Structure 1
Amino acid sequence: MEIIFKNKWYTGLEFDLELSNQYTDNHLIELSFHYNTKLRVDSVTRMLSLICQLHKNGQTVSLNFQSTRSPLLNYLHTIEFFKFLPKNGILYSERIAPQLNSLSKGSKKRKSYCAIEPIVCGQEHTEDLDALVTPFHEYFSTNVNEVRKSYIYRVKTILSELINNIHEHSESKLTGYAATQMYNRSLGVITVCDSGIGLLSTIKASIVQNYPQHQDLSDEQILNLMFEKGISRHHDTFRGQGLTSSAKNALVLNASVDLRLKESHIHLEQRKVRDTFKTWNVLNRSSSKIHPLLGTHFTFQFDLQNISL
């Protein structure tokens, strides 16, 4: 079964829609990319999670690039995408496989993007937050002042809280991933994902016992509560503040949030309540046909042109 990605730009959401429109269950899944296919970094981590989940289910994945000169192929190699693929059960087109080791790979820290950082649940934190924040540091580094320093701190806090949330709640043996990238010095993207039991599954299991007043809320209302007030499956207010902290920092940085759950897409956009106060609108953007994907996949999108420095 072949899934074709055309000569266009794919965000994480658009990658999901393309996948869902073409996917049929089969032992062999071939992902084919046209020469000018462009994947935003959140679609890359989503694809990586998908491949690892399919492999765990006993399916074989084939990756087909039209040319060794494909910009996408070189980009994936540069951010170390192939490093995290399963060692077996992955096929490559004959003209591509011999070239993988000869493709260029830059340093871990770059100006506009960084290498993918693995998040291994059940082990000590080894994620390189300094490398992940580098694209934002480069953007905010001109004429550094205290405001810019505070923005870098906020970006690092968002990354730290999301990664810590995976360590605490994922319950998956599959690796999670984090990555960042800057696009045209106007859009910053953070993506953090795992292949675990999922954010809503984690909290819903404890709502009846610990938060009976919320048991009739919709998924969107539960997420809004988690982002604005903080709730924890352990009924511990302090431990439930990770997402709330990320959300507050995202509001300051003029961000929107896309959240891919097992069978749904949730979008959070900012809503101004008063001149000095902003909160979230939570929108369900799920299509009737969406391919299941385990875990929680966060994408924070920062409109840097409208941040006051």
Structure 2
Amino acid sequence: MKEKIRKILEARQPIKAREIARVLGVTNRDVNRILHDCKEDFLQDDASYWRLRAPVELRVQFPPAQWLSTRQFESALSQVESPLDSACSKVIFEFAPSTSVLLEAIARLLALCNQLIYTGKSVIIDFSGCKETSKYLNRVGFYDLLDKKVEVLPSRPKRSTAKELHGGNSGLVEVAKIDLQHRDKEIPRRLQESLAQHVAFPEARLHTILAELFSNIHEHSSSPIPGFVALQLYRKGSTPHISTVFSDSGTGIAGSLLPTLDAATLAKLDASGKDRAIALVELVFTDGQLSRLDDDGRGLGLFRTGECTQRFKGSITVRQDTFEVTIRYTGDERRITSRKGLRRMNGTHICVKFNLTQ
């Protein structure tokens, strides 16, 4: 009967014991006995209404994977409540043994953990079965920006190899914090120098594109949680490429631009038949004309990012709120896909991939 009571409460709460008894066709005494004997599962308020007691912790278990992708990352999140919206006070991220993590997924984990800490939740990341992955995260600078309140199992590294070996690998730009108060011109320069060693593209254009993505965080973020950028070269695999990530936990592109758009542009977004925010993100990267709505020309810069990515048959993925937009380029063609209903994550998280095989 306990499970039957639980199902009733899942569908309809708060509710009084007599109502539960009526639905089940049993006596009030039978229902009250179970409710009072299982106080670890059921909670009674001062008005004698019953509800399910919220679990103390939320556990996100990532599947075994040679390389954990963002799709697998999001799939694992979808199996549980939204960590940011859950009533649980503790969130545990558990990695399967011997799992390596792609930079794009690392960036989302870092942003989400810091957002959870900011909301007052406690966070644990369990790397007990994949210590080599923890070592790599240390090298890429993950722990340097991870909030100190996040508990890491089996232990958080005592020293930062990212700081010790900083700049020593042309295929890696360690996670770099973006200070909203002071623009660090060194960060776009480092990204540009790393890309220039591996892709054949005018350095001036590379600088413009990277500076635009970097500036996008200043433009659309207003969060006390630091934004960041990073780069990783992947030489092996079926498609050698470079991944660059730009992450902020603030208002985001759609959140900051939608309230400023005129009626004609909003009508254009609605005519697409898509969610307005999704249609806007697509438009920003695929239609340079949107820049006319921005005095500083931000829209044109993001459009040029798309042009550059097309040159390398790469892709752009933008993750915001509860959706994701991906633009993939193959020659002169581009394919746009989107996913809705993702677990909430604040801000804008962009990954630009440059394929190295033309």
CA contact (8 A) 1:35 1:71 kept: no
Q: What corresponds to 1:144 in structure 2?
A: none
State the Cα distance separating 1:221 from its structure 2 match. Answer: 3.7
Q: Indicate how the Cα distance of structure 1 residues 76 and 91 shifts in structure 2: closer, same or farther if over 3 A, else same.
A: same
Structure showing greater radius of gyration is 2
Alignment of 1:239-254 (within 5 A): 239-254=298-313
TM-aligned CA distance change 1:108 to 1:130, over 3 Å: farther
* DSSP-derived class of the 1:101 partner: coil
Could you tell me which amino acid in structure 2 is paired with residue 131 of structure 1? R
Q: Is the 8 A contact 2:188 2:214 kept in 1?
A: no
**Partner SS state of residue 244, structure 2:** strand
Q: Using the alignment, how far apart are the partners of 2:298 and 2:193 within structure 1?
A: 28
Q: Distance in 2 between matches of 1:54 and 1:37?
A: 23
Q: Evaluate the alpha carbon distance shift between residue 137 and residue 291 of structure 1 in structure 2; reply closer, same or farther with a 3 A threshold.
A: same
CA separation of 1:233 and 1:45: change in aligned 2, threshold 3 A: farther
In the alignment, structure 1 residue 301 sits paired with structure 2 residue 358: no
Match of 2:72 in 1: 14
Q: What is the alpha-carbon distance in structure 1 between the residues aligned to residue 296 and residue 145 of structure 2? A: 35
**Per-residue deviation, 1:162:** 0.7
Whether 1:77 aligns to 2:138 is yes
Note closer, same or farther for the CA distance 1:233–1:15 as it changes in structure 2 (3 Å cut): farther
Structure-2 separation of matches of 1:136 and 1:45: 19
Looking at structure 2, the residues matched to 30 and 244 of structure 1 have their Cα atoms a distance apart, in angstroms, of: 38
Does structure 1 residue 267 correspond to structure 2 residue 326?
Answer: yes
The alignment-based identity, stated in percent, is 22
CA contact (8 A) 2:177 2:229 kept: yes
How far apart, in 2, do the equivalents of 1:122 and 1:279 lie?
39
Partner residue, 1:56:
118
1:92 aligns with 2:172: no
The alignment's TM-score, normalised by the length of structure 1, stands at: 0.82
- Per-residue deviation, 1:36: 1.1
2:284 aligned to which of 226, 231, 240: 226
Shift of 1:59: 0.4
| Structure 2 residue identity aligned to 1:27 | S
1:91 maps to amino acid: E
Relative to structure 1, the CA distance from residue 235 to residue 92 in structure 2 (aligned partners, 3 Å threshold; closer, same or farther) is closer
Which has the bigger relative contact order, CA under 8 A and spacing at least 6?
1
Structure 1 contact 118–127 (Cα < 8 Å) conserved: no
What stretches of structure 2 of length at least 5 have no aligned partner?
A: 1-57
Aligned length: 286
Q: TM-score, normalised by structure 2?
A: 0.72
Give the distance between the partners of 1:233 and 1:204, measured in 2 at CA.
15
**Could you tell me which amino acid in structure 1 is paired with residue 146 of structure 2?**
L
CA offsets per residue over residues 26-66 of structure 1, 9 Å max, x none?
11111122331111111111111101111111100012111
Preserved CA contact (<8 Å) 1:261 1:293: yes
Per the alignment, do residues 101 and 261 of structure 1 end up closer, same or farther by CA in structure 2, a change over 3 Å counting? same
Tell me the residue number matched to 1:160.
Answer: 211
Equivalent residue in structure 1 for 2:94, among 25, 29, 32: 32
- The range that moved more, 159-168 or 217-226, is 217-226
> Matched residues in 2 for 1:190 and 1:131: separation?
12
Is 1:117 matched with 2:169? no
Over aligned residues, Cα RMSD in angstroms? 2.5
